A and B are shown apart, each in its own frame.
Chain A
Amino acid sequence: MSLGKRQLHELLFYMILTRKLEESLARLHREKRLTSPLGLHSGLEAVSVGAAFVPTPRDLLASSLPTTGAFLLRGVKPVEIVLELLGKGAAPSGGRSGIRDFGDLGRGIVATTGHAATHVSVMTGMAFSARVQRQDRVAVALVSEEAVATGDFHEGLNFACVRKAPLVVVVVRFPSAARPGGAEVSQLYERARGYGLTALPVDGSDLLQVIQVVETALERAKAGEGPTLVEAPLRSSTRYIGSDDAMPAPFDEAARLDPTRSENETDVDANPIRRFERFLSNQDCLSEVERAALSARADDVVSDALRAADAAISPDARGLEERLFEPVS
């Protein structure tokens, strides 16, 4: 895929927006204005944006990870995300869900149940039904590596392999520091051989690599070659779930402008946004002015969203029992 400068800037914008939006959500949570566990991971931006950028609007996406970037790229507005989390009546689910379970078939997003991999078989079903109905579409499922332990993951993937469903499963692997007490798992892409499944490893902190690999996976799917597993380890990530967790490392703009602070290469490699910025500026595709403009635009979008969501009202309890079933005509 060749990307023009505008597209590259947009990709950067979405990564920055993702980060800033999540930071503001974490702040709301700290202020106890959001009370349910939040579940955010910094460092996911490249996978989030990259895995959602490649599929077309006709393709389908489901994610049990807090991939805010992916939802934004599929056309979910920042205000909708905040409305969902605040449980307002104007939220897309009317206050009945939460962001983790966001779904809208019109925008090609399937809501998950929040369980690690139940959506893998559902996305297999969507992919399989797309193939038999000769629809030119692919289903993409994002899961975390913990989900690989569940029966759902294997049942779904097995079916997809047997039926050559046009499915892409992106498994995000968190660095051991962030992983909550999980045992060391060997390279997934080697395990995939047991399924006769093509598996492609990628550096999950590198946006362009993610885009390239996901693209390959989608092309395989569209060519009828069956499912692909994309294994995307992250170099660094901070988890924020409950208010006792440490705030994710802030997207600290002030630091980079301070000549006395040098950013060490490894740290930049581990930060998807910084890494992409470095790449762009090395290619003379991004000036400091342009970068600042993108950042400022992201700030505006976030504050608009927060303001609008704040002003919205709670759902009307009288509607509680509606829409359980399709109304009988």
Chain B
Amino acid sequence: MTEITYLEAIRQAMWEEMERDPRVILLGEDVGLYGGAFKVTAGFLEKFGKDRVIDTPISEEGYTGVAIGAAFNGLRPIVEFQFIDFIANAFNMITNFAAKSRYRWGAGVPIVMRGPAGGGVRAGPFHSQNPEMHFVHTPGIKVVTPATVADAHGLLKAAVRDEDPVLYLEHKKLYRHVKASSSELESRETPPIGKAIVRRRGEHIVVVTYSAMLYVALEAAEILAKEGIELEVIDLRSLVPLDRECILEAVRRVNKVMILHEDTRTGGIAGEISAIISDEAFDDLDGPILRVTAPDTPVPYAAALEDAFIPRAEDIVRAARRLARY
């Protein structure tokens, strides 16, 4: 039984889709000859050729536009942003062209936009961001955030097969640190986009989270279990569409909830989920809805600063103790 990493799962998903469907193409900086900044596309150029694996100039807006045009003309492009932070350069193309085409004139844009997001690797403010909310806020774009190896694999395949623009945010810290057995991938079906999953059952407090923070939540759960506080941990997997039912069902059952994300506080999805819960499950709440998030600053570079920036298990533990006592 071979063990594969989260990065390897992404690679495998793209390879499988490109083999399966000749319309799938890949565009990005250094994806061809160099094999990708993280080597995730090593070997792709040799296998699929230069018309399907396209080394682009440094023009995020331009090559995202090219991908959109190719999508209109029947291809299924995967657009890579070497670091997801660079997606900012393609903001206009994504939010004004890709997101609105189906709504305006019935032309769907089946592209996948992917890139490494998140911090914790001392990469500084421009290589560690979590830009999801800019796109969650734009109607017409789906957003997925896999945390496990199986989801990294399955959700990327689902994204490629989706008829609409999907932003696929892979977390760079998970690349080589999260592993699973390859047989686990084989036995899984492609998970649907828009469905969350309960990773841990608990009766005292629900923690709603996604991406790398899943592991921090589980770590906190182990600590709290020793104090008799049992966390229920929900992995959202998708931010758009959001699995409201999963969240609400848990809140109705457990009655105390907190939302955890590595994204900064203001305008992060915790606020949105909070509003949904308060709107639709008010009478099921036995305590306030808490948020554990990064503060409202750019991602700092120095280790001491970045460690204070990214939520840690102890932050969750403290919040949980407060909520449990409420």
Partner-B contacts on A (CB < 8 A) = 60, 92-93, 96-97, 101-105, 110-111, 113, 115, 118-130, 132-133, 135, 139, 151-152, 154-156, 158-159, 162-163, 323-326, 328
Bound-state Cα–Cα, A105 to B66, Å:
16
B102 near A323 with CB under 8 A, answer yes
Query: Can you list 19 contacts pairing A with B, beta carbon distance less than 8 Å?
Result: A93-B105, A97-B105, A101-B105, A103-B104, A111-B101, A118-B65, A118-B97, A122-B65, A124-B62, A125-B71, A128-B70, A129-B75, A130-B73, A132-B51, A135-B73, A155-B57, A158-B57, A159-B56, A323-B103
The winner among A102, A105, A325 for most chain B CB atoms within 10 A is: A325
Q: A125-B69, A135-B73 are in contact. List 8 more A-B contacts (CB 8 A).
A: A92-B105, A110-B107, A113-B96, A127-B69, A129-B70, A152-B61, A155-B59, A159-B62
Given A103-B104, A162-B57, A156-B65 contact (CB < 8 Å): yes
A125 near B104 with CB under 8 A, answer no
A129 near B140 with CB under 8 A, answer no
Choose one: B56, B73, B102, B107; the contact of A129 (CB below 8 Å). B73
Q: How far apart are B58's CB and chain A's nearest CB, in angstroms? A: 9
Partner-A contacts on B (CB < 8 A) = 25, 51-52, 54, 56-57, 59, 61-75, 92-93, 96-97, 100-108, 139-140, 142, 162-164, 192, 194
B73 near A125 with CB under 8 A, answer yes
Which 5 residue pairs across A and B have the least CB separation, nearest first? A125-B69, A155-B62, A121-B65, A125-B66, A155-B59
Which residues of A are found within 8 Å of B139, using beta-carbon distances? 324
A129 near B103 with CB under 8 A, answer no
Bound-state Cα–Cα, A249 to B102, Å:
38
Bound-state Cα–Cα, A96 to B103, Å:
8
Nearest-neighbor residue (CB-CB) of B70 within chain A: A129
Given A127-B69, A159-B56, A121-B96 contact (CB < 8 Å): no
Which residues of A are found within 8 Å of B108, using beta-carbon distances? 326
Which residues of B are found within 8 Å of A156, using beta-carbon distances? 62, 65-66
Bound-state Cα–Cα, A156 to B244, Å:
40
Choose one: A102, A122, A326; the contact of B105 (CB below 8 Å). A102
B69 near A151 with CB under 8 A, answer no
Q: How far apart are A221's CB and chain B's nearest CB, in angstroms? A: 15
Given A113-B97, A325-B142, A326-B163, A124-B105 contact (CB < 8 Å): no
A121 near B73 with CB under 8 A, answer no
Which residues of B are found within 8 Å of A92, using beta-carbon distances? 105
Which residues of A are found within 8 Å of B142, using beta-carbon distances? 325
A111 near B65 with CB under 8 A, answer no
Which residues of A are found within 8 Å of B164, using beta-carbon distances? 325-326
Which residues of B are found within 8 Å of A151, using beta-carbon distances? 59, 61-62
A111 near B105 with CB under 8 A, answer yes
Which residues of B are found within 8 Å of A139, using beta-carbon distances? 69
A118 near B70 with CB under 8 A, answer no
Which residues of A are found within 8 Å of B57, using beta-carbon distances? 155, 158-159, 162
Given A125-B65, A155-B61, A325-B102, A133-B74 contact (CB < 8 Å): yes
Which residues of B are found within 8 Å of A162, using beta-carbon distances? 57
Which residues of B are found within 8 Å of A122, using beta-carbon distances? 65-66, 68-69, 72, 97
Q: How far apart are A295's CB and chain B's nearest CB, in angstroms? A: 33
The winner among A103, A113, A121, A123 for most chain B CB atoms within 10 A is: A121
Bound-state Cα–Cα, A326 to B103, Å:
10
A103 near B101 with CB under 8 A, answer yes
Choose one: A113, A115, A133; the contact of B75 (CB below 8 Å). A133
Q: How far apart are A20's CB and chain B's nearest CB, in angstroms? A: 26
Choose one: B65, B74, B75, B106; the contact of A124 (CB below 8 Å). B65
Nearest-neighbor residue (CB-CB) of A155 within chain B: B62
B73 near A133 with CB under 8 A, answer yes
Q: How far apart are B244's CB and chain A's nearest CB, in angstroms? A: 15
B72 near A126 with CB under 8 A, answer yes
Q: How far apart are B257's CB and chain A's nearest CB, in angstroms? A: 27
A115 near B96 with CB under 8 A, answer yes
Q: How far apart are B27's CB and chain A's nearest CB, in angstroms? A: 9
Bound-state Cα–Cα, A97 to B103, Å:
9
Q: How far apart are A252's CB and chain B's nearest CB, in angstroms? A: 36
Nearest-neighbor residue (CB-CB) of B106 within chain A: A323
Bound-state Cα–Cα, A156 to B265, Å:
37
B70 near A159 with CB under 8 A, answer no
Bound-state Cα–Cα, A152 to B100, Å:
18
Which residues of A are found within 8 Å of B92, using beta-carbon distances? 113, 115, 118, 152
Bound-state Cα–Cα, A68 to B199, Å:
57
Which residues of B are found within 8 Å of A93, using beta-carbon distances? 104-106
B62 near A103 with CB under 8 A, answer no
Q: How far apart are B5's CB and chain A's nearest CB, in angstroms? A: 31
B66 near A110 with CB under 8 A, answer no
